[in-house]
Amino acid sequence: MIIMKNKIFLNIALVLIVLIVHTSYSNAQNLNALYEEMEKNNFEIKSFDKEKEAIIAGSDQYIWLPDPEFSVGLFPLPVETRLGAQLLRISAGQMIPTKGIYKQQKLIHSLKAIPVSDQKNMQVLANRTQLKQEWLQLYKFQETQNIISRNIELLKSVEKIALSKVESGKGKLSEVVIVQIKINDIEERLKIIETQKQVPINNINKILSRTENKEIIIEDHLEFPIMLFEKSFLLEKIINGNPKLQLINHNKDVVKSEIDMNVFMQKPMYGVGFDYIYVNPRSDMDPMRNGRDALQLRASVKIPINKKPFEVKTKSQLIQIEALDFKERNAITELEKMMENAFSQYETALKTKILYEDQIRNIHSVIKLLEQEYAAENSGFENLISMEMDIIKYELIILDSIIEAHKAINILENLTL
């Protein structure tokens, strides 16, 4: 009976463990999985897809002829002819656009869809950058909690030494209280950080356009990243592949195609049509073909004699291209500065990490000596506590340097597709 109960208890425990692990695993997502979810579900990115789809669908409007013209005319004072009086005129006409004009209009329309793709790519890179920044912030909070928790154990070892000295009559109770205050202070900081973690979690869920505010657990462990980018090669890649620069160049293509359209608009348009005239038969005499209706076939041409509007429009469009040239040069400068700043940020983080890792190694050596002195001679308590707090501070600085280095790499990664 006891064995049966133990088996049941064991099975229940296993099921609970599996559920806990599954829940944790379902909430734990690596960065690449978050990127994929963002590109698939983000509402703003979806809007660009629909905008492009709408533009492409609109290009079909240029495969039809202009609307034909119909008119009806009555003669209140009929025009008398040999065969009778003209009472009614029905006219119809159709203008025929210049050859190639529809093809050019369709080209302009399709070119306008390309900048929308560039805007989408810009948004994807912006979302990827922000997503990783928020992910790194969440990771920083989690690691800060881990660092503080580890150092609480160091302070508790000091507390034990202080308590043993008080019990032996060689120490001060105030020293025990000081250590306990430090421990309580750090434990409260842990609670505050737990609340702060909700901000990047909320922001990540927003970027992913999640309807529910899901918990996010980071199981990755970040080391200091290795710089794999080379400045000159990366700058060339940025100039050729950054979607902001591509957007500017594709907008230039649109304007240039509109300039070409001005040439087509200055060409004549031709038209064909007919006029049908109803004739009332004569009553005073009966000539041959009396009352025969009339049919007139006609051709027309529309010549844009005034060229000034097209010249003004072309001049304006050429100025637009010059403005886009300046925007391109400014964008290249901005991207180059972002790249330079990211490299500087990485170098600063690397130097900071090396400096404080040396500091921590030195402090650990000093702490061992101070603990021995305090245990043996009841001296150096203030220095011991100060050194323990310095370890926490320096480990957090190293964590900051790792995060800053990853942020720098994140910027460099998202300067181009």
| Mean pLDDT value across residues 346-372 | 88
Q: Return the pLDDT at 7.
A: 47
Residue-wise pLDDT tens digits, 250-263:
999 999 999 999 98
Residue-wise pLDDT tens digits, 22-64:
333 344 568 889 999 999 999 999 999 999 999 888 877 776 7
Listed range (78-87, 179-188, 338-347, 364-373) with the worst mean pLDDT: 364-373
Task: Considering only residues 4 and 363, tell me which one the structure prediction assigns the higher pLDDT.
Answer: 363
| Mean pLDDT value across residues 167-193 | 81
Listed range (102-116, 144-158, 348-362) with the worst mean pLDDT: 144-158
| Mean pLDDT value across residues 86-100 | 90
Residue 352 has pLDDT above 90, yes or no: yes
CA distance 17 to 375: 44
| Mean pLDDT value across residues 114-120 | 95
Listed range (1-15, 326-340, 377-391) with the worst mean pLDDT: 1-15
Residue 242 has pLDDT above 90, yes or no: yes
- What are the residue ranges spanned by the domains of the chain? 35-64+100-267+307-413, 67-96+268-303
Listed range (73-87, 165-179, 291-305) with the worst mean pLDDT: 165-179
Strands 269-281 and 294-302 turn out to be: antiparallel
| Mean pLDDT value across residues 151-176 | 75
User: Which superfamily, per CATH, for 35-64+100-267+307-413?
Assistant: Outer membrane efflux proteins (OEP) (1.20.1600.10)
Listed range (174-178, 243-247, 285-289, 377-381) with the worst mean pLDDT: 377-381
Residue 41, judged by CB atoms within 10 A of its CB (0-12, 13-18, 19+), counts as middle
Q: Return the pLDDT at 161.
A: 72
Give me the chain's average pLDDT, please.
Answer: 86
Q: Phi, psi at residue 203, to the nearest 5°?
A: -65, -40
Residue 378 has pLDDT above 70, yes or no: no
Q: Return the pLDDT at 171.
A: 66
Percent of residues, the chain, with pLDDT higher than 90: 52
| Mean pLDDT value across residues 225-233 | 92
Listed range (242-251, 302-311, 393-402) with the worst mean pLDDT: 302-311
Residue 417 has pLDDT above 90, yes or no: no
Q: Phi, psi at residue 30, to the nearest 5°?
A: -80, 170
Tell me the sheet residues that pair with 296: 275
CA distance 37 to 366: 49
Q: Closest Cα partner for 81 from 228, 287, 235, 234?
A: 287
Residue 375 has pLDDT above 70, yes or no: no
pLDDT tier, 167 (very low <50, low <70, confident <90, very high otherwise): confident
Residue-wise pLDDT tens digits, 292-317:
989 999 999 988 889 899 999 999 99
Residue 15 has pLDDT above 50, yes or no: no
Q: Return the pLDDT at 377.
A: 66
| Mean pLDDT value across residues 186-211 | 91
Q: Return the pLDDT at 14.
A: 41
pLDDT tier, 379 (very low <50, low <70, confident <90, very high otherwise): low
